[in-house]
């Protein structure tokens, strides 16, 4: 996961030196929504900060207001709006997941004569094999299915993650997320009072582990996250 990167297309107002909004696909939106599944303890460990202020609430509100038709059929918004620690294992696109917990392994015992006595296991070492009457003392390791690294998050939804991939999403500078349309883009330009289209520039940027850490940190203290993290003319977020 350390080498994974995602791509956002920023629309920049070069005159004001700010990001108006970004276009992104499902994996970026899945990543933003999985920030809600990070327990506070994980955030503190990642950023060495204990305060949650700023724009993370915008991500929460975006998911809360997102119509259920955009969700994968096997996903429930309440899982993220009221997160449980175990939901981390569904976060395939979460660049900030900590190392998974060690696998839970239990010892069982089988017959030494595994070629012909493969039907029996026991939790007690040395008891008699019902098949050949030999001792069942060969150690077999049972890995519990709920152990770390097992989850794909797909369930019955096919492509996995939280939102559907057939839609392009608009991400505002404060990380508010909505499904994108040509009408919504025009409305946004009107909202920002953009009259001279020559000042607008598109820029593709990569979102990797370092950018994800900066984005998370900025989201706890700022309303201009994309500008703070991706525009060199602004104060960069240090990690």
Taking only the tens of pLDDT, the chain with its 239 residues reads 456 789 999 999 999 999 999 999 999 999 998 888 777 666 766 775 344 556 777 787 888 899 988 988 888 887 777 655 444 555 555 677 644 445 667 788 888 887 777 788 888 888 888 888 888 888 888 876 654 444 444 544 557 788 998 899 999 999 999 999 888 788 888 888 878 888 999 999 999 988 998 898 888 888 999 999 999 655 556 66
Burial of 186 (0-12, 13-18, 19+ CB in 10 A): exposed
Is 87 within 8 Å of 74 (Cβ atoms)? no
pTM: 0.66
Domain layout of the chain by residue ranges: 6-99+151-230, 105-143
Burial of 205 (0-12, 13-18, 19+ CB in 10 A): middle
The number of residues making up the chain comes to: 239
How many other C-beta atoms lie within 10 A of the C-beta of residue 185?
15
């Amino acid at each position: 996961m350390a080498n994974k990167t995602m791509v956002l297309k920023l629309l920049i107002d070069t005159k004001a030196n700010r990001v108006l909004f970004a276009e992104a696909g499902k994996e970026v939106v899945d990543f933003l929504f999985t920030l809600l599944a990070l327990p506070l303890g994980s955030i503190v460990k990642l950023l060495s900060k204990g305060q949650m202020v700023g724009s993370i609430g915008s991500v929460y509100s975006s998911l809360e207001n997102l119509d259920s038709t955009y969700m994968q059929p096997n996903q429930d918004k309440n899982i993220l709006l009221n997160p449980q620690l175990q939901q981390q294992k569904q976060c395939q696109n979460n660049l900030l997941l900590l190392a998974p917990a060690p696998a839970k392994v239990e010892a069982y015992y089988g017959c030494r004569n595994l070629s012909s006595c493969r039907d029996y296991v026991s939790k007690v070492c040395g008891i008699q094999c019902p098949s050949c009457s030999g001792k069942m003392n060969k150690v077999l390791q049972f890995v519990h299915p709920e152990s770390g690294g097992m989850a794909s998050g797909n369930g019955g939804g096919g492509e996995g993650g939280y939102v559907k991939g057939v839609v392009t999403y608009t991400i505002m500078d404060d990380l508010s997320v909505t499904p994108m349309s040509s009408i919504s883009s025009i409305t946004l330009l009107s909202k920002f009072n953009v009259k001279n289209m020559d000042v607008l520039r598109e820029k593709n940027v990569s979102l990797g582990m370092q950018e994800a850490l900066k984005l998370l940190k900025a989201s706890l203290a700022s309303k201009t996250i994309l500008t703070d993290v991706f525009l060199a003319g602004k104060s960069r977020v240090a990690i």
